[in-house]
Chains A and B, each alone.
Chain A
Amino acid sequence: MQHDTFAIILNREYSTERYIGPLSRIETEILIGPFQTAPLSMVPKPSRPEKVQLVQNLSYPLHPTDSISSINSAIDSDLYPCTWGTASTICLLIWFLPPGSQAAVRDVAEAYRMIPLHPSQWPGLVVKTGDDSFTIDCSFCFSFLASAGTYGEVADAGADIFRSQGIGPMSKWVDDHLFIRILQEHLKTYNAL
């Protein structure tokens, strides 16, 4: 059962060209040089436990040893800043809303997977799919420390485009988008705030 699910996930990644493979170790090294894999697990999606997702533990090992350090240990997520709809931001946003306002929420499907990874970084995100079977992951993924900020920058642009077209006020937390709308009668006063 798990094996089937694993195969389905792999096929989907190959068909969307986010995975390059399967490749032998030698083939992979010819393409991208020395590479690193990380422990792989299948985890139920938090919002839909009936669905599973592949997660590479890019923080393994937790503490670097002499011979190996995790991919994430080399990443400072502060270097990938973006906006966050934090609780204090949302409190303030709602505080200033005129009466009768409403909110909707929309989630982006497979948000991180939409963002291509620069080829120079591919050696860090190789997935071991079997004995001498490897796959190069060409997209950002969950558990990769740079993902939230890198996707966040794209999503920031998206949010600003919505705002530039007069849609708003809005906010977001990673791929979770909060769209707020106000009654027309309050438009002038709200814009004047």
Chain B
Amino acid sequence: MEGGQKWYCGSDMPDRRIEEFDEDASFPILDLSQISPCSVEDARFTYCFEDIDRLSKILRIPWELTKDILFSACTPFIRFLWDINTHSVSIPPKKKEKYLGAIREWEVRSSHTLQQVQELYRKLLHTSLVLPAGQAYLVSLENMLSIFHNHPHMPRTPPKGTSEDLRWWKAGLAQPTVSRPIPGPIEVTDPAAYSDASSGVGIAIWISGRWRAWRLLPGWKGEDQDIGWAEAIGLEFLAITLLNQCPEGSCIKVFGDNQGVIEGWWKGRSRNKATNTIFKCIHELSTASKCSILTRYVPSTHNPADDLSRGIYPPANLLLPPILIPQPLRAFIANFDDPKIPTEHLKHCMSTETKPLTSKTPSSQTEANNLNNELHHQGEETFKAMQAYC
């Protein structure tokens, strides 16, 4: 039981979701083909429409006959079109037009009531089951839902970014068919892939003993660009590295120690705008490769990418191949072995910000502590010098 839903719990699926059924399968399916008169085609199956009618009459269930949809391999149900043969689910063409129309109507207005926001949001949230990347394009509408307070009828202007999000939805819904394979209990590939970020040094990934790292450049922090954003980039870099080599349809497990990012990805979106932008890129990678990413939490002490993100690097012969840093990130991130830019030297003098080290390697721990103290001291000296100068 969960809220207003009764459900029957099956086995754990490979991705650790639990199988959700709405019956306990206590009754076997019977061959009723001899009971009601039926066509040759119908007789191939265990039952036909007449069998439903026969029982409905006894139970006095009044079917709305004009809405009957006869047996076929492709059926509309809960506003999706389910294709049993091809194992795919899609948005029915009529619904697609309706949703596109709703976006166009929205675009004509400059402000909207709560009900108008809710209606569009619900339609797109529903569609995101078929277009999972759409989850990251729901955030602006979701933020708008909470700005009405006690005045649901007072029209409000949508938050920044809403029209860009809706442009994505329009393009998505304008595709000739909006469909996806029906998700099911598929095998999860575990390449032992980890990522981490440290606000003092940078971002790192570790896959089965091989590694790669990047430095965060001075000025990377900004409105919304926080450690969560950096952690999300770690996830994106893992995705870039892994998705290139995976066969279509794979589901790949990756680990990280930032719960906000790990659990945020389960919903496919983040309320933090900068992190959500990274999520959009990961969705794009995932859609292009037809693979999915499954995130799992691991404590920092068990995250092999933890030391790497602080600049403690293993031998270079274990390096993973380099990746092309996405253009919008190049102002904030450099490869770990790229030459230092001038502002980085200054940053090192000023920085007092490093995460406490775990005690995995006592010698490097001591070394790091000393370095930290020295940096701290240098920072104070610089600060004093600046004060004297001012």
Contacts and interface: CB of A to CB of B under 8 A. Distances in A.
B32 A166 contact: yes
A82 B4 contact: yes
- Interface centre among A85, A159, A184, by most chain B C-beta atoms within 10 angstroms, is A184
A95 B182 CA distance: 7
Contacts of A41: none
Contact of B4 (A80, A102, A159): A80
A15 to B, nearest CB: 16
29 contacts: A78-B3, A83-B5, A83-B22, A83-B23, A86-B5, A86-B20, A87-B78, A88-B20, A89-B20, A92-B21, A94-B82, A95-B182, A101-B73, A104-B68, A105-B75, A109-B63, A110-B62, A149-B4, A159-B23, A161-B55, A165-B30, A165-B32, A166-B46, A167-B29, A167-B32, A169-B23, A176-B77, A182-B29, A184-B44
B84 A94 contact: yes
A165 B77 contact: no
Contacts of A89: 7, 20-22
Given A91-B89, A108-B61, A161-B59, A167 B47 contact: yes
A52 interface: no
Contact of B52 (A86, A99, A167, A171): A167
B31 interface: yes
Interface in B5-48: 5-7, 10, 17, 19-23, 25-33, 44-48
Interface in B62-97: 62-64, 67-73, 75-78, 80, 82, 84-85, 87, 89
A69 B82 CA distance: 42
Contact of A167 (B51, B70, B184): B51
A103 B29 contact: no
Interface of A: 47, 62-63, 77-78, 80-95, 97, 99, 101-110, 114, 148-149, 156, 158-169, 171-173, 176, 178-184, 187, 190-191, 193
B265 to A, nearest CB: 18
A87 B129 contact: yes
Contacts of A108: 61-64
Given A85-B77, A93-B21, A104-B49, 20 more contacts: A81-B1, A84-B7, A87-B89, A92-B20, A92-B185, A94-B84, A95-B182, A102-B45, A102-B73, A104-B70, A104-B71, A104-B72, A107-B63, A108-B62, A168-B29, A173-B77, A179-B71, A181-B45, A182-B29, A184-B44
Nearest to A79: B4
Nearest to A181: B45
Given A86-B5, A184-B45, A92 B52 contact: no
What interface size band does chain B fall in? 35 or more
B182 to A, nearest CB: 5
Scoring B25, B69, B78, B80 by chain A CB atoms within 10 A of each residue's CB, the highest score goes to B78
A182 B77 contact: no
The secondary structure that dominates the A interface is: mixed
B47 A166 contact: yes
Interface of B: 1, 3-7, 10, 17, 19-23, 25-33, 44-49, 51-52, 55, 59, 61-64, 67-73, 75-78, 80, 82, 84-85, 87, 89, 129, 150, 152, 182-185
Contacts of B78: 85-87, 90, 173, 176
B150 A167 contact: no
A178 B67 CA distance: 12
A106 B67 contact: yes
A170 to B, nearest CB: 8
B338 to A, nearest CB: 45
Contacts of B46: 166, 181-184, 187
Nearest to A192: B28
B77 A183 contact: no
A114 B60 CA distance: 11
Contacts of A187: 29, 31, 46
Contacts of B85: 99
- With a 10 A CB-CB cut-off, give which of B68, B73, B77, B89 has the most chain A CB atoms: B77
Contact of B152 (A62, A94, A179, A181): A62
B4 A81 contact: yes
B53 to A, nearest CB: 10
Contacts of B67: 47, 105-107
A166 B47 CA distance: 9
A97 B84 contact: yes
A107 B51 CA distance: 16
Contacts of B84: 94, 97, 101-103, 180
Contacts of B71: 102-104, 179, 181
A13 to B, nearest CB: 16
